[in-house]
């Protein structure tokens, strides 16, 4: 795929779209593509997380130890939080079919944010809004349980 194709894919990811075209172009240029076959493990729960992955082609089953799972297909960002902070993976991701991903290293992502204050601000605002919504949802759920 060309850099323009990669930028177009990154632009489809809601979190990344906030960064703007210049930042997405830097991510596309600095990222790497990885190929997976059915049954290949993208990462395991407990692994050190140093990157996020955008699914270009194929699908991955992402599951945690509680049994919760989701299927991530083209355009999905897997491991979003790993782009921001050092952590261990809370889940395991396994390819369900031949798949291709774009790997964005945390170090690259942070360099892009450091070079574009406006993009970093938009991302910060998005995370603040999400956190506020989660807190509101928890309060609402708690109130319903106390009925």
Q: Where are the beta strands (DSSP E) in 1-147?
A: 32-36, 41-43, 48-49, 51-57, 60-64, 69-72, 77-78, 87-88, 91-95, 99-105
Contact 23, 112 (CB under 8 A): yes
Q: pLDDT tens per residue, the chain (147 residues)? A: 688 889 999 999 988 998 999 999 999 999 999 999 999 999 999 999 999 999 999 999 999 999 899 999 999 999 999 998 999 999 999 999 999 999 999 999 999 999 988 888 888 888 788 777 877 778 887 778 775
Question: How many domains is the chain built from?
Answer: 1
How many angstroms separate the CA atoms of 83 and 119, rounded?
14
Q: Domain range spanning residue 29?
A: 3-145
Coil, strand, or helix at residue 43?
A: strand
The CA-atom distances, in angstroms, between 119 and each of 20, 34, 116 are 7, 26, 5
Residue 31, domain CATH:
2.60.120.10
Quote the CA–CA distance of 147 and 144 in Å, as a whole number: 5
């Amino acid at each position: 795929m060309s850099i323009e194709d990669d930028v177009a894919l990154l632009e489809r990811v809601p979190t990344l779209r906030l960064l703007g075209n210049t930042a997405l172009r830097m991510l596309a240029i600095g990222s790497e593509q990885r190929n997976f076959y059915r049954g290949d493990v993208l990462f395991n729960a407990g692994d050190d997380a140093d990157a996020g992955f955008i699914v270009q082609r194929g699908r991955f089953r992402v599951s945690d130890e509680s049994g919760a799972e989701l299927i991530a297909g083209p355009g999905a960002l897997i491991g979003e939080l790993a782009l921001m902070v050092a952590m261990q993976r809370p889940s395991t991701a396994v390819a369900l079919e031949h798949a291709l991903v774009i790997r964005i290293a945390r170090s690259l992502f942070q360099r892009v944010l450091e070079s574009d204050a406006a993009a970093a601000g938009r991302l910060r605002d998005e995370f603040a809004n999400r956190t506020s919504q989660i807190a509101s949802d928890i309060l609402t759920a708690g109130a319903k349980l106390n009925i």
